[in-house]
């Protein structure tokens, strides 16, 4: 088990806040840890105070594992600067106090895209159920045996694996009306390898390309940009966030999506994605 010291990081708040790891990782019952697959390896991460411990089964070297954990949990983010940037009012400062240490996770663009296409008109429990069924059916099986430890697990399904399925099969696995969008997304991902590299483009250009994909609207595109490509200026707007922003910042007056995006950029700028996550998690639980 490797370990590192962390500051302004709370693993439980991060995992419980409706991010992709919630959909395909497995939380431990004591709220101190999570297990998830990365490539052909199973990664376990747990936290005790300011110590973050982690290990991998399946051949992931120590240096690459450390880099994966640091990247996955946004441990390179300057939280002092971020909190200064988003703590613009009493409501946001209360959210930061309650969920201090919650980070934006960085996940693979493909796994993020699949999770958020599935998320449309869905709740976390059902999203997780669908994702876990797709992993069980289309994920590659791996086994690990060493030092008395024996494990079997399935990796996150590749775009190729999903593209080779039928819409009917995806519907039978619980995807419902999303099945055709999932199939189309997987096919696009296979045919356009440049989608994995969208993070190198600026936010507006990358979002425009994502929204050209079948089944990817404004909110899903911003979720993919935020959690899959690390575009912290992305501000996903669903019905819940729209209601919270209108209530807290516009005196209950209805606002269009474009107006809310403009407001978020002017108020929180390059850290709008962090503001969104704290707003979402705090308002949902309060």
**Given the DSSP bridges, would you call strands 33-38 and 149-154 parallel, antiparallel or unpaired?**
unpaired
Fold observed for domain 109-228? Endonuclease III; domain 1 (1.10.340)
| pLDDT (mean) for 80-108 | 96
Q: What is the CA radius of gyration of the chain?
A: 19
**Mean pLDDT in the chain?**
94
Domain limits of the chain? 2-76, 78-103+230-286, 109-228
Mean pLDDT of 84-100: 96
Query: Residue 150: pLDDT band by 50, 70, 90 thresholds?
Result: confident
Query: What's the confidence (pLDDT) of residue 31?
Result: 63
Confidence (pTM): 0.95
Kindly report which listed range (53-67, 139-153, 214-228) carries the lowest average pLDDT score. 139-153
Residue 28 scores a pLDDT above 80: no
What's the pLDDT score for residue 55?
94
Q: Is the pLDDT of residue 29 over 80?
A: no
User: Under CATH, what is the fold of the domain 2-76?
Assistant: TATA-Binding Protein (3.30.310)
pLDDT tens digit sequence for 197-217: 999 999 999 999 999 999 999
Is the pLDDT at 57 greater than 80, yes or no? Answer: yes
pLDDT digit string (tens) for 228-279?
999 999 999 999 899 999 999 999 999 999 999 999 999 999 999 999 999 9
Split at pLDDT 50, 70, 90, the class of 122 is: confident
Fold held by 78-103+230-286 = Endonuclease Iii, domain 2 (1.10.1670)
pLDDT at 18 over 70: yes
Q: What is the mean pLDDT of residues 94-117?
A: 96
């Amino acid at each position: 088990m490797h370990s590192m010291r962390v500051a302004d990081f709370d693993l439980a708040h991060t995992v419980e806040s409706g991010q992709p790891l919630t959909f395909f990782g497995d939380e431990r019952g004591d709220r101190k840890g999570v297990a998830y697959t990365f490539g052909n390896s199973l990664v376990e991460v747990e936290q005790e105070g300011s110590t973050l411990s982690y290990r991998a089964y399946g051949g992931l070297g120590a240096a690459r594992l450390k880099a994966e954990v640091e990247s996955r949990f946004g441990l390179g983010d300057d939280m002092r600067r971020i909190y200064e940037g988003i703590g613009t009012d009493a409501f946001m400062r209360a959210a930061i106090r309650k969920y201090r240490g919650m980070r934006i996770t960085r996940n693979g663009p493909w796994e993020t895209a699949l999770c958020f296409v599935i998320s449309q008109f869905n709740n976390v429990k059902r999203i997780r159920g669908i994702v876990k069924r797709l992993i069980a059916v289309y994920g590659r099986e791996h086994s690990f045996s060493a030092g008395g430890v024996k494990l079997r697990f399935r990796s996150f399904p590749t775009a190729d694996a999903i593209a080779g399925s039928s819409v009917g099969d995806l519907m039978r696995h619980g995807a419902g009306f999303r099945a055709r969008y999932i199939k189309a997304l997987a096919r696009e991902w296979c045919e356009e390898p440049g989608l994995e590299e969208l993070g190198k483009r600026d936010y507006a250009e990358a979002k425009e390309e994502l929204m050209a994909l079948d089944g990817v609207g404004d909110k899903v595109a911003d979720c993919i940009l935020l959690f899959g490509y690390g575009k912290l200026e992305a501000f996903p707007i669903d019905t819940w966030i729209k209601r919270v922003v209108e209530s807290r910042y516009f005196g209950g007056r209805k606002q269009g999506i474009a107006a809310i995006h403009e407001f978020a950029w002017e108020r929180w700028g390059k850290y709008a994605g962090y503001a969104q996550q704290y707003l979402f998690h705090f308002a949902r639980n309060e």
